A and B are shown apart, each in its own frame.
Chain A
Amino acid sequence: MPFETLSQTCDVAALAARRSTRWQTGLAAMQGAPCHSEIFASGREASGAGAALALALDDWRHAPRGEGQEAEDRRAVLWVQTREAVRIGGIPYRPGLPRDLRHRVIHVLAEKTEDALFALEEGVRCHEIAFVIGEMAGNPKALDFTASRRLTLSAERHGVPLYLVRLDAAHDLSSARMRWDVVASPSPAPRWNATAPGTPSWRAELFRARGHAPGQWVLRGEESRLLAERAGSAETEAHGSSAGLPRTRPSAAGR
Chain B
Amino acid sequence: MTAAAEGAGRRLELGTVVGEDRPQTRSRRILSIWLRSLAMDRWRAVNDALDDPRPLVLIADTAHGPRIEAVSVAGAAAGAGRGMMLADARTLCPGIVTALYDPAGDRDFLEKLAVWAMRWGPWSAMDAPDGLLVDVTAVPHLFGGEERLLADVHAAFARRNLAIRSAIAPTAGAAWALAHFGPERTILDDVHDMTARLADLPVAALRLDEDVTGVLRRLGLKRLGELTAVQDGGGGRDAIQRRFRNRRSPAANPLIRLDQLLGRVPEPLLPVIPRQMPLVQRRLMEPIRHRALLDQVMHDLALDMVRELEGREEGARRLELGLWRVDGEVVLRRLEFAAATRDADHMCRLFSSRLDNVDAGFGIEMVRLRASWAEPLSLEQSDFEAAAAYHGTSLATCIDRLAVRLGAKAVRRPVPFASHIPERAQRWQPPLEPERTSQEVFEFHYRPLKMLEKSERIAVLYATPDGYPKRFRWRGAVHEVARVEGPERIAPEWWRERGNARLRDYYRIEDETGRRYWIYRQGLIGDGRGGAPDWYLHGLCA
Contacts and interface: CB of A to CB of B under 8 A. Distances in A.
Interface in A215-230: 221
20 contacts: A44-B474, A45-B540, A46-B449, A50-B542, A90-B452, A90-B539, A106-B431, A107-B412, A107-B413, A111-B406, A123-B398, A125-B393, A128-B395, A184-B514, A184-B515, A187-B514, A193-B485, A197-B508, A197-B509, A201-B514
B117 to A, nearest CB: 48
Interface string A104-128: 0111111100010011001101111
Interface stretch (B190-198, B309-317, B384-392): B384-392
Nearest to B456: A90
Interface in A9-52: 44-47, 49-51
Nearest to A193: B485
B447 A95 contact: yes
Interface string B505-519: 000111011111000
B394 A93 contact: no
Given A96-B451, A126-B397, 12 more contacts: A47-B515, A47-B542, A91-B452, A91-B453, A94-B414, A96-B449, A105-B413, A106-B399, A111-B406, A125-B393, A197-B541, A201-B514
B54 interface: no
B477 interface: yes
Closest A-B pairs by Cβ, 8 of them: A50-B542, A46-B540, A196-B485, A128-B395, A127-B392, A96-B447, A126-B398, A197-B510
Nearest to B385: A68
Contact of B451 (A53, A76, A93, A201): A93
Nearest to B400: A122
Interface of B: 386, 389-395, 397-399, 401-402, 405-406, 410-416, 422, 425-426, 428, 431, 435, 441, 445, 447-453, 474-475, 477, 482-485, 508-510, 512-516, 539-542
A115 to B, nearest CB: 5
A51 to B, nearest CB: 8
A183 B244 CA distance: 75
B414 A115 contact: no
Contact of A196 (B414, B474, B483, B539): B483
B450 A184 contact: no
Contacts of B416: 94-95
A119 B402 contact: yes
A200 B410 contact: no
Contact of B392 (A54, A86, A126): A126
A197 B449 contact: no
Contacts of B448: 46, 93, 96
A94 B415 contact: yes
Interface in A52-111: 53-54, 66, 68, 75-76, 78, 86-87, 89-97, 103, 105-111
Contacts of B402: 108, 118-119, 122
A93 B450 contact: yes
A105 B484 CA distance: 30
B515 A195 contact: no
Given A95-B426, A106-B411, A106-B413, A126 B447 contact: no
Given A91-B451, A108-B410, A195 B483 contact: yes
A213 B323 CA distance: 60
A183 B511 CA distance: 13
A75 B508 CA distance: 32
A96 B448 CA distance: 5
A90 B540 contact: yes
Contact of B513 (A103, A186, A195): A186
A86 B453 contact: yes
B389 A186 contact: no
Nearest to A97: B449
A187 B510 contact: yes
Contacts of B510: 186-187, 197
B516 A197 contact: yes
B541 A200 contact: yes
Contacts, number: 176
B540 A89 contact: yes
A76 B513 CA distance: 34
B239 to A, nearest CB: 61
A239 interface: no
Nearest to B484: A195
B539 A96 contact: yes
Contacts of B484: 195-196
Nearest to B512: A186
Interface in A131-160: 157-158, 160
Nearest to B427: A94
A200 B453 contact: no
A90 B450 CA distance: 6
Nearest to A86: B453
Contacts of B449: 46, 49-50, 53, 92-93, 96-97
Contact of A129 (B395, B406, B415): B395
B540 A129 contact: no
Contacts of B477: 44
B426 A127 contact: no
A174 interface: no
Contacts of A49: 449-450, 542
A50 B56 CA distance: 69
B513 A183 contact: yes
A230 B468 CA distance: 34
Given A184-B516, A196-B485, A68 B389 contact: yes
B395 A76 contact: yes
A128 B431 contact: no
A108 B395 contact: no
Contacts of A126: 392-395, 397-398
B452 to A, nearest CB: 4
A49 B539 CA distance: 13
Given A90-B539, A93-B426, A201-B514, A110 B450 contact: no
B506 to A, nearest CB: 12
A218 to B, nearest CB: 10
A80 to B, nearest CB: 9
Nearest to A159: B392
Nearest to A124: B392
A56 B422 CA distance: 26
A188 B448 CA distance: 18
A158 B515 CA distance: 36
Interface string A175-200: 00000000111110000010111001
A158 B392 contact: yes
A97 B389 CA distance: 31
B353 to A, nearest CB: 11
Contact of A115 (B405, B428, B431, B516): B405
Nearest to B399: A106
Contact of B515 (A44, A91, A115, A128): A44
Contacts of B516: 45-46, 184, 187, 197, 200
A45 B416 CA distance: 24
